[in-house]
């Protein structure tokens, strides 16, 4: 069975199979359920590390695997990774054990179903990053909705039903038009070449007219903009983030949002380069505007989770600016920033979760003076906050600096505006830190809060180490993504439309 011997296919299937295995474990044996879930995510992480060890940074698509699926439609189950997708796969595999560990004490009801949802979600997320076939990509993209919907809707906060419905319908509405566009692209290829295929590399650079590209790009861009989320399509995000359980928020921010950016880089831009050139300044402008807007909104938040959620919108706006400038430094920085944001925002949500579990409040006003009772927690939060702001020496700085330097050459005004937003992020993040950690201990009940325990250290330490490591020595990551970034920029150049095809 090549499905299980190919390392990439194994990574995609492993969590899902473990999820199915969990079904066989009796519901009341919660310890076994948790252990099995943790073991599955750790195994996946090991497999991902092995993938990284065997990955050749100089090569292009690797670990390719193809299995004929629906020959009548030219659909093959095709997987493969380049530097960018590998980076995101590593990020997913790393955040999952943390998400599982963080759920051990916070999820009390329906544990088996919860971990099954998490594991199915992991399979779908990994599948999105590994897919090289449009149909397979769409399948995983949409398949992700069901487990996430249940995670928010069953184990979420008080307004969870509203948030879950909004998340599902918003995302679904965004992606159905992408489905039509996918069908259109495949049909156009069929009309031209006479064969059916949904393979991404085969469809790249297809000679579509500029008019067709415009609408197709718009359909893809809308689907991905909802996911990123790009201002003004971001309104589902604060609701979903606030209501989701900690693990849900971590994965939403850490992985799901990356899929939007990944979609632009893997699909929307290379498939429709001519339209991408038209849309790029507008998307970059929305990104830059999003940085400022979301930072201002985050500044006024009183709820920790909401603030972090809006800071995500700001960070991803900056990433959007980076990838739409088609400039090697900016795009590399943007890809690096995807990983950075996953680490720092994932860690922020984990820390907020730790606070919430102890105090059952996410309001900034309920805290203050935590440095006295939770010194280690305060130290970790400081590092994560500084990483999120982009302090030199930590990972956030490298990404943000590269994006700003690179995009300044292409969009000087937008880069300048975004810089202002980045400064704002320091204002609200440090303000939050000061209000929760420093000052007098205003609330008596906070005196009893316990500091980080061993389990929490276990999942925070790897994240902290990586923040430092990438901050001080980003070269390996940048080297890994350099090839794919250049590919992306090359594919983004509009080709001559000499033999453009007018379809129907």
Partner 1 sequence: MNAELTAYASNAMSGPLLLAAAAFTCLLLPLFFKALRGTQGIMALSAVLVVLSFIKRAPLTEISCFNGALLLSPAAAYLWAFTFAVLAFIILLSLYRPPAQPDSGGEYYFLLLMAALGLVTLMAAGDLFTAFIALELLSLPLYALAGIRRSKPGLEAAYKYFMLGAFGSAITVMGIALLNATHPDLAFAALMKAGAPEPLALAGFVLIIAGFAFKTALVPFHMWVPDVYEGAPTQISAFMGAAVKAGGVIILWRIFRIFEYGPIRELFWWLAVITVVAANLLALAQTSLKRLLAYSSVAHAGYLAVAFFGGQRGFEAVLYYLPVYAMATIGAFAVVLVLEKGEKGPVIDDLAGLARTHPWLAAAMAAFMFSLAGVPPLAGFFAKFFAFSAAVNSGNTALVAVAVIMSAVSMYYYLRVTVAMYMKPAAAGATCGAPGAAEAVIFTMAAGVILAGVFSKPVLTLAAAAARWF
Is residue 160 a contact residue for partner 1 (CB under 8 A)? yes
Candidate residues 180, 420, 461, 472; the one interacting with partner 1 per rule CB under 8 A: 180
Transcribe 261-307 into DSSP letters: HHHIIIIIHHH-HHHHHHHHHHHHHHHHHHHHHHHHHHHT--BHHHH
Q: How near is the Cβ of 59 to partner 1 at its closest, in Å?
A: 31
Cα–Cα distance measured from residue 338 to residue 320, given in angstroms and rounded to the nearest whole number: 10
Candidate residues 7, 143, 201, 431; the one interacting with partner 1 per rule CB under 8 A: 143
Is residue 25 a contact residue for partner 1 (CB under 8 A)? no
Query: Binding string, 120-139, against partner 1, x = CB under 8 A?
Result: ---------------x--xx
Is residue 167 a contact residue for partner 1 (CB under 8 A)? no
Q: Which residue has the tokens 């971001």?
A: 234
Is residue 186 a contact residue for partner 1 (CB under 8 A)? yes
Is residue 172 a contact residue for partner 1 (CB under 8 A)? yes
- Dihedral, CA of residue 471, residue 97, residue 353 and residue 287, to nearest 10: 50
Identify the helix (H) or strand (E) that includes residue 78.
Answer: strand 75-81
Between vectors from CA 14 to CA 10 and to CA 20, what angle results, nearest 5°? 140
Q: Tell me whether residue 71 or residue 440 sits nearer to partner 1 (CB atom).
A: 71
Per 3-state DSSP, what percentage of the chain is helix, strand, and coil (rounded to 5)? 75, 5, 20
Q: How many CA atoms within 13 Å lie on the side-chain side of 14?
A: 23
Tell whether the torsion through CA atoms of 490, 493, 496 and 502 is positive or negative.
positive
Q: Tell me whether residue 109 or residue 444 sits nearer to partner 1 (CB atom).
A: 109
Applying CB under 8 A, which part among 64-72, 239-247, 341-349, 415-423 lies near partner 1? Answer: 64-72
Q: How near is the Cβ of 176 to partner 1 at its closest, in Å?
A: 4
Cα–Cα distance measured from residue 88 to residue 310, given in angstroms and rounded to the nearest whole number: 22
Q: How near is the Cβ of 67 to partner 1 at its closest, in Å?
A: 12
Candidate residues 57, 61, 179, 278; the one interacting with partner 1 per rule CB under 8 A: 179
Cα–Cα distance measured from residue 221 to residue 333, given in angstroms and rounded to the nearest whole number: 21
Q: How near is the Cβ of 215 to partner 1 at its closest, in Å?
A: 9
Is residue 150 a contact residue for partner 1 (CB under 8 A)? yes
For residue 68, the SS3 value is strand
Q: Tell me whether residue 187 or residue 193 sits nearer to partner 1 (CB atom).
A: 187
Candidate residues 113, 200, 244, 324; the one interacting with partner 1 per rule CB under 8 A: 113
Site size with partner 1, rule: CB under 8 A: 37
Q: How near is the Cβ of 100 to partner 1 at its closest, in Å?
A: 21
Is residue 108 a contact residue for partner 1 (CB under 8 A)? no
For residue 182, the SS3 value is helix
Applying CB under 8 A, which part among 162-170, 203-211, 326-334, 410-418 lies near partner 1? Answer: 162-170
Is residue 115 a contact residue for partner 1 (CB under 8 A)? no
Between vectors from CA 236 to CA 230 and to CA 237, what angle results, nearest 5°? 70
Cα–Cα distance measured from residue 253 to residue 249, given in angstroms and rounded to the nearest whole number: 6
Cα–Cα distance measured from residue 233 to residue 262, given in angstroms and rounded to the nearest whole number: 17
Candidate residues 70, 193, 420, 423; the one interacting with partner 1 per rule CB under 8 A: 70
Candidate residues 3, 39, 49, 161; the one interacting with partner 1 per rule CB under 8 A: 161
Q: 230: which 2 tokens?
A: 């790009």
DSSP-assigned beta bridge partners for residue 208? 501
Applying CB under 8 A, which part among 87-95, 173-181, 309-317, 454-462 lies near partner 1? Answer: 173-181
Contact 266, 485 (CB under 8 A): no
Q: Tell me whether residue 74 or residue 238 sits nearer to partner 1 (CB atom).
A: 74
DSSP-assigned beta bridge partners for residue 387? none
Candidate residues 17, 43, 61, 177; the one interacting with partner 1 per rule CB under 8 A: 177
Q: How near is the Cβ of 138 to partner 1 at its closest, in Å?
A: 7
Q: How near is the Cβ of 154 to partner 1 at its closest, in Å?
A: 5
Q: How near is the Cβ of 136 to partner 1 at its closest, in Å?
A: 10
Query: Binding string, 354-393, against partner 1, x = CB under 8 A?
Result: ----------------------------------------
Is residue 146 a contact residue for partner 1 (CB under 8 A)? yes
Is residue 20 a contact residue for partner 1 (CB under 8 A)? no
Instruction: Give exposure, 253-289, as e/b (b: 16+ Cβ within 10 Å).
Output: bbbbbbbbbbbbbbbbbbbbbbbbbebbeebbbbbbb
Q: Tell me whether residue 146 or residue 379 sits nearer to partner 1 (CB atom).
A: 146
Please count the residues of the chain. 504
Candidate residues 3, 32, 39, 176; the one interacting with partner 1 per rule CB under 8 A: 176
Q: 109: which 2 tokens?
A: 């009801």
Candidate residues 3, 169, 423, 465; the one interacting with partner 1 per rule CB under 8 A: 169
Between vectors from CA 301 to CA 296 and to CA 304, what angle results, nearest 5°? 125
- Dihedral, CA of residue 135, residue 139, residue 142 and residue 146, to nearest 10: 170
For binding to partner 1 (CB under 8 A), which residues are involved?
Answer: 69-73, 113, 135, 138-140, 142-143, 145-146, 149-150, 153-154, 160-161, 164-165, 168-169, 172-173, 176-177, 179-180, 183-184, 186-187, 190, 503-504
């Amino acid at each position: 069975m090549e499905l299980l011997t190919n390392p990439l296919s194994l990574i995609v299937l492993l969590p899902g199979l473990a999820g199915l295995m969990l079904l066989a474990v009796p519901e009341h044996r919660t310890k076994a359920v948790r252990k099995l879930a943790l073991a599955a995510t750790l195994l996946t992480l090991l497999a991902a590390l092995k993938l990284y060890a065997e990955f050749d940074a100089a090569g292009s698509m690797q670990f390719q695997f193809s299995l004929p699926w629906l020959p009548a439609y030219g659909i093959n189950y095709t997987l493969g990774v380049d530097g960018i997708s590998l980076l995101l796969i590593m990020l997913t595999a790393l955040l999952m054990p943390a998400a599982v560990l963080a759920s051990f004490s916070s999820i009390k009801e329906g544990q088996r179903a919860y971990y099954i949802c998490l594991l199915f979600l992991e399979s779908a997320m990994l599948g999105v990053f590994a897919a090289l076939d449009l149909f397979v990509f769409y399948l995983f993209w949409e398949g992700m909705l069901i487990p996430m919907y249940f995670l928010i809707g069953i184990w979420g906060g008080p307004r969870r039903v509203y948030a879950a419905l909004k998340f599902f319908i918003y995302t679904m509405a965004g992606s159905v038009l992408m489905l039509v566009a996918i069908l259109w692209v495949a049909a156009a290829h069929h009309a031209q070449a006479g064969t059916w295929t949904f393979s991404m590399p085969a469809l790249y650079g297809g000679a579509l007219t500029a008019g067709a590209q415009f609408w197709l790009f718009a359909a893809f861009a809308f689907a991905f903009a909802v996911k990123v989320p790009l201002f003004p399509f971001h309104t589902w995000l604060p609701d979903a983030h606030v209501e989701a359980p900690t693990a849900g928020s971590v994965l939403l921010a850490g992985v799901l949002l990356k899929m939007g950016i990944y979609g632009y880089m893997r699909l929307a831009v290379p498939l429709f380069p001519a339209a991408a050139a038209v849309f790029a300044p507008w998307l970059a402008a929305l990104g830059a505007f999003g940085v400022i807007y979301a930072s201002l909104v985050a500044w006024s938040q009183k709820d920790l989770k909401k603030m972090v959620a809006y800071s995500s919108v700001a960070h991803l706006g900056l990433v959007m600016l980076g990838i739409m400038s088609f400039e090697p430094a900016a795009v590399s920085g943007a890809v690096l920033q995807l990983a950075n944001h996953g680490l720092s925002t994932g860690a922020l949500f984990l820390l907020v979760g730790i606070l919430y579990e102890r105090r059952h409040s996410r309001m900034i006003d309920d805290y203050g003076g935590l440095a006295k009772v939770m010194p280690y927690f305060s130290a970790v939060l400081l590092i994560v906050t500084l990483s999120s702001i982009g302090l030199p020496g930590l990972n956030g700085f490298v990404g943000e600096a590269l994006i700003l330097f690179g995009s300044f050459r292409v969009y000087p005004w937008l880069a300048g505006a975004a810089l202002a937003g980045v400064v704002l992020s320091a204002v609200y993040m440090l303000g939050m830190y000061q209000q929760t950690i420093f000052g007098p201990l205003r609330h008596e009940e906070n005196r009893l809060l316990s500091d980080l325990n061993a389990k929490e250290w276990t999942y925070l330490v790897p994240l902290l180490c990586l923040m430092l490591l990438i901050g001080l020595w980003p070269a390996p990551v940048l080297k890994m993504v350099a090839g794919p970034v250049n590919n992306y920029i090359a594919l983004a150049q509009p080709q001559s439309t000499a033999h453009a095809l007018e379809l129907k």
